[in-house]
Structure 1
């Protein structure tokens, strides 16, 4: 591991200034991803700016039914908060599915959004990887890719985004707030992650040196009946091979509103807009749910050893939406 400096920031402006003064510095929240990458040599910051003391730890409900979540809120506190559990249950389920209790106690909301892919070629510095070393190639395309992307990939990268929490947040139109030396900014989480394209090393639209300060969830009445379902290769703590965050508003057997986002299928949380449009106004039932899944997955371009994900996601989408519809009918 490269030797590094360490400073603890006590206000947002000071944290941004510290990072701006050193282009090789990194913000440190819980460190559950960054420190691992430092140990393997993927990340080699010259300085860590610890932001855990910043006043960004609150979860504040709005009168209209939304939520404002501070960037340093731990995953454990987020999952346990009564307003999250009541207004956005899929978010609680996603966070609880995402990591062990020890990691949730350390990991922060801001850090979760910025975690890097777990592709084995990315984390092994002896291998080429366009995300880690631009222009070096993507050996996963011809190599081990059974858990890689089937949507939105490119010839330059087929890795998937690892976050469970971000999938639920995308389904509910979350907005990310950040601070820079030039002032604050906001960006919808759906637009926060860049398409992989020919520059997979540029993962987000955050300006250089920006500090995430919080996430806002707008009111979403449909989210009160929502679910996050994760499929993994073992029952214990593991990253997804496919996941779904869904919410459904059904009235008199007809879908009035559908929210759907997919995880572990692309380089970013995948908002299933095509499926949502197909569902709106349809009779709620397994046939309509499967047809909507097929419409979304028609754009899939699986590799030789991850084609199973198309079937898996079709079945997962159909099952989760069916469960939500049955709950609405009770």
Structure 2
């Protein structure tokens, strides 16, 4: 681990001012990913800026929206009574991630910005375009059971590891940002990038820009929602496939509206827009659910070890939607 300075910021403006004084600053929330990366000599900041004093409120609003301070702990968000009743897919996605100890430390903003857990990214003896642009990607021909089947490129087949982010993608969340150029907001779906030729550029944040809050717009039918994670063991494992879903089924038994997102399949949380388009107006039955899954996975490409994930994703989508249909019966 290289030498670095440590500073504590009392608010977002102070954090940004501190960042402007560093050559390679990093914001520190819970540190559950950043510290690991520093130990592995992947991240080499010259300054750590502690932002745990930033707002951590979880604020339901009168219009049905929810504002979440970026410094809120994952445990607090998952346990919040409003989240558990109005947005169960969000609570369940957080509880499916990591361990209780890590959830107690991890912040919402840090969870969003965590980096891939690809073993080749962490192995300094491996070729990795994300760590060293132009170096190659050993995962493509290596052990790639956990890697991407959608949106990958010859440069990178890594997946985004977050469970919570899959739920945020399904919920049309927006990010509140503050940086040297001022305040702005961004659709959550626009934050993370697909790898293309530059997998080392992972988000569309500006230099030294800080996530200050996450806003979830009103979605009344999210009360009928869930998150399912398929993994190799029951706890502390990353997703092979995960599905966050919410459905609105009308009195005629047809899907009036739906939100669907996938994890474990791509370099970013994957919003299943093609599946949603198939579902809207269709009968709420297994045949429609399967058609939606087929439409979303039509472009999927399997690698040597992960081709099974294509069918697994389809079956998981169908199972989750069928479960939600039964909840309203």
Which category of TM-score, normalised to the shorter sequence, fits these structures?
A: over 0.9
* Alpha-carbon shift at residue 4 of structure 1 (Å): 1.2
Give 3-state SS (helix, strand or coil) of 1:219's partner: coil
Preserved CA contact (<8 Å) 2:128 2:135: yes
In structure 2, what is the equivalent of residue 248 of structure 1?
247
Per-residue deviation, residues 124-168 of structure 1 (Å, max 9, x unmatched): 122121111111011111111111000000000000000000000
Task: Tell me which residue corresponds to 2:37.
Answer: 37
Is 1:82 equivalent to 2:76 in the alignment?
A: no
Partner of 1:176: helix, strand, or coil? strand
CA distance in 2, matches of 1:280, 1:102: 40
**SS of residue matched to 1:158:** coil
Tell me the residue number matched to 1:51: 51
Cα distance in 1 for partners of 2:282, 2:300 equals: 23
Q: Alpha carbon RMSD of aligned pairs, Å?
A: 0.7
Q: Secondary structure at 1:98's aligned position in 2?
A: coil
User: Within 5 A, what are the aligned runs for 1:1-330?
Assistant: 1-54=1-54, 56-251=55-250, 252-329=252-329
- Superposed CA deviations along residues 265-312 of structure 1, whole A, max 9, x for unmatched, are 000000000000000000001111011000100010111221000011
Q: Per-residue deviation at 1:173?
A: 0.1
Shift of 1:25: 1.1
How far apart in 2 are the matches of 1:324 and 1:12?
A: 40
Q: Measure the CA separation in 2 of the matches of 1:182 and 1:11.
A: 16
Unmatched 5+ stretches in structure 2:
none
Determine helix, strand or coil for the equivalent of 1:27. strand
> CA–CA distance in 1 between the matches of 2:245 and 2:30?
28
Question: Unmatched 5+ residue regions in structure 1?
Answer: none
For residues 68-106 of structure 1, the C-alpha deviation after alignment (integer angstroms, 9 at most, x for no partner) is: 000000000000111111111000000000121110110
Equivalent-residue separation in structure 1 for 2:239 and 2:269 (angstroms): 12
Write the deviation string for residues 213-271 of structure 1: whole angstroms up to 9, x where unpaired.
Answer: 01000000121110000011111211111100000110121000011000000000000
